Amino acid sequence: MEIVHNSATVSRPGGDRIIDAPTLFVDLPAFTQQIKNEEAWEKSDRNSITVFKTDDMRIVLSAIHKNGELLPHRAEGTMALQVLEGSLKVNTDEQKTTLSPGQIMAIHKGSNYHVIAAEESLYLLTVGNVHDHEQFHG
């Protein structure tokens, strides 16, 4: 298996990192510190970094300010939204709930969802069986 690297960019000068390998260690506290120290965190309602990316799965770590939101989307793949810190209000076609640390909401491909941060929050978004590479940035 080829090891895949993500390159640094102007907005993420510390962006050189491995995003796919036969095994990959992900240091969430270090990535959290990185995204909260970037200009994007200061200038927008959230900041994210892709910590793992293959053809069939993505894991994205996101920090979001209070009242920040993920505008309504249709899930491009089956996904799991896991709150690490704070709380998120999650609305789908089937239910409305508030997720707290340690809670996960699974959302099937094709379902509509909308997320609003009830307070400053940190979460992992894991999406499987996605082949639309433009959906994920980090």
Average pLDDT, the chain: 89
110: domain CATH number is 2.60.120.10
Tell me, yes or no, whether 138 lies in a domain. Answer: no
DSSP state of 98: E
Full-prediction pTM beyond 0.85?
yes
Bigger pLDDT: 137 or 109? 109
| Residue-number span of the structural domain to which 52 is assigned | 4-132
Write the DSSP string, 63-97: EE-TT-EEEEEE-SSEEEEEEEES-EEEEESS-EE
Q: How many domains does the chain have?
A: 1
pLDDT computed for residue 5 by the predictor: 72
Q: Is residue 137 part of a domain?
A: no
Does 79 reside within a domain? yes
Q: Is residue 114 part of a domain?
A: yes
Is 62 part of a structural domain of the chain?
yes
Q: What is the tens place of the pLDDT at every residue in 74-119? A: 999 999 999 999 999 999 999 999 999 999 999 999 999 999 999 9
Give domain status of residue 45, yes or no.
Answer: yes
Q: Is the pLDDT of residue 14 over 80?
A: no
